[in-house]
Structures are given as structure tokens and as C-alpha cells.
Amino acid sequence: MTKRILLFSLIAVSISLGLYGLYDLYDLSVNSSHELTDLPETTFPFSHNPEEKTTVVLRGKTLLLRSLPNSENSNYVIVKLVGSPDTFSVKKSKNARQEAYDVKFDLQDVPNGSYTVEIYCASQKYASYIGYVNGQSLRITVHDSSIEFVEPLTLPKNQEVFSANQNDTDTLARYLKPSLKIESDHPALIDHARTITSGTFSDYDKAKAIHDWVSQNIWYDYDEFYNGIYNNKSALETLTSRTGVCIDYASLTAALFRAVDIPAKLVTGYVLDASAQEVWTQDLIAGNKGNHVWNEVYIDGRWLIMDTSYDSNNTFIDKTFSAGTGMKNRKYFDITIDLLSVDRYILPVQLDPLRSR
């Protein structure tokens, strides 16, 4: 339901960054930053996925991007401080070991104050950059000799709701059962889930395979969205049509997981409208309104967060499937609660995904 936010954001990013008329661009080499190793650092990790370890690091008056995604879509990165006069383009060394890769931004000359950190990625230097972290919620405060993160306003409540997840035997068994719109016992869904996960050796690998397949092969239905009439397809209908809105992505994702005996549920929350520069306020959080649905799946003794619709770059507009798009990245696969809280709020009272069929 909120993919319009992403669409408008991409248009805005293409206009403001694709033409390069507003900013100077700097190619920066990989920095080992040995001179900074003795300074304390604070970190803002993006993911628990061992293959996607992107972290924003603050050390002294320096901001570092650590372990950018090892994909073609992240060959170039732009970091923007809202209120700062410069935007930096950073070429990623393809030969650098990802675990040791730090991209350094010296903020010595940035005036004291509060700033929003925005990160954009692209496969080529002169291209339209896609927002990896954008909007108004990942904030830092610059002081005379240091920088600190400003905690997202939603983080305490999100931590409270997320930590309350149950993992007892009865709860997990319930999230393995088929339910309304999630026909995980249907032979077509079972066969498809088994095909997707064939060749995997762990539940975590199965989780990546299912996430990647849904993000790659389902198209966000803007025709349905703009009409304002949601068909609320079943998982089987979404698999057949290959189109849907956020709840359809989430229902199909849950069905595929349950079909291979991995507990999965739907999560309802609110996502900020980045295109309107929406920011968190206490009134917005207290309103407890939802506009988006994603998933949590139980893997290796913990609940793992994923959002297959936001990691998809596919669009279905005017009854036409976009071509050459597919999965954008794994930003929302096994995302940390910290990064999730930058742009979304988990509703304390959830939809009941276990209502009978």
C-alpha cells in the first residue's frame, strides 16, 4: 500500500541526483583510516545478514560506511547530509574484502547541529541513484569534537513490540498452519516453495531464497493501488497473477515459508512518506494507524524481519509489467530493528493472520 512512497521517492532522487547539476561529486578511494583506530566509535547496523553487513560508523568527527552491499547496484554511493553543501560520490572497489571495507567522510568542516543522513546507491557513477536510506529519520548531531546518532523516535516502542514475540511450541505451530488468504497446504504452493528452496542447506538459506524469489518475480500493482480498491488476493492468486500490493506480497511470502515448515506471520505497521518528507511525531505514533504489511519468519531460534515488496523494483502500471527490474537489494531482509525504526512503526495490535478460512 505504500509503494507509491518509493515510486515518488525514486522520481525525486532521479531528478535531484541523476542530473548532477546541484552538487559537486567526489571520487574517493578506499580509506583504511588507521589514524582513527584509537578513537571510540558508535555504530548503526543495517542488517543481521552476514552477507549484508552495511553499518554507519561514527568515530570522532568522521562518518564511515562499513561493508556496503557486495552487488553491482552498490558500485557507487552518494551520502548526503541535509543542510550540508556537498554530496559525495564514492566508487566501491570491487576487489576490496567486504569485511574490511570502510568509506570515510571527514565532517570536520560541518557546522555543529542536527543533520539527516541520506544514502543513495547506483551501478554507475552517472545514473539515477536509488535511495538506500533516505527521508528525515536517520539523524546525527554534530558537536565540536564528535558526532552522535539521534535515536529514531519509534525505536523504543518497536523494540518493545518486537521483543514481545512469542516462540513457544504452540505459537510456532500456529504460524505453520494455513489460514485465510495463506493457503500453504495447497499443492501448487508446496511444489513452488520446494522448487525455490531446492539446493539450500539451511533454513537461513531457504529464507534468502524465498525472499529473493518473491522480490524478483512479483510486480507491485499500481493500477490496484491508484484505484484505491484492494482485491486482497490470496497467496495462490498472487502466485498465479504475479501482481499484488504489500499485503499480497506478504501473504505469498508467508505461504511459501509455511509450505516448507518455517513459521511465518504478517506484520502491520506505518511507513513514513519519504516523498512528502514526513517525519515521526508523538501524535503520529500515538495514532496507531497502519498503511503497510510485511513479514516475520522464525529462523534459527529468532524472529527475522523481511519486506519482500520494498526489496522489489518491479512495477505493474497500466496493465504493463516493468522490464529489466526485479529484486532491488536485500535492504529489508533480516533488517535490524534500528534501521526498521528509521522509516516504520510496528503497530502494537496486529492483524490476526490466523483467522479461519
Mean pLDDT by 10 residues, the chain (357 residues): 46 35 33 56 92 89 82 76 60 37 79 85 79 77 92 94 95 95 97 97 97 98 88 94 96 98 96 83 90 96 97 96 92 95 89 44
Q: How much is the CA Rg of the chain, to the nearest whole Å? A: 20
Q: What pLDDT is attached to residue 137? A: 67
Q: What pLDDT is attached to residue 4? A: 44
Q: Domains, the chain, ranges and CATH? A: 3-150 (no CATH), 155-346 (3.10.620.30)
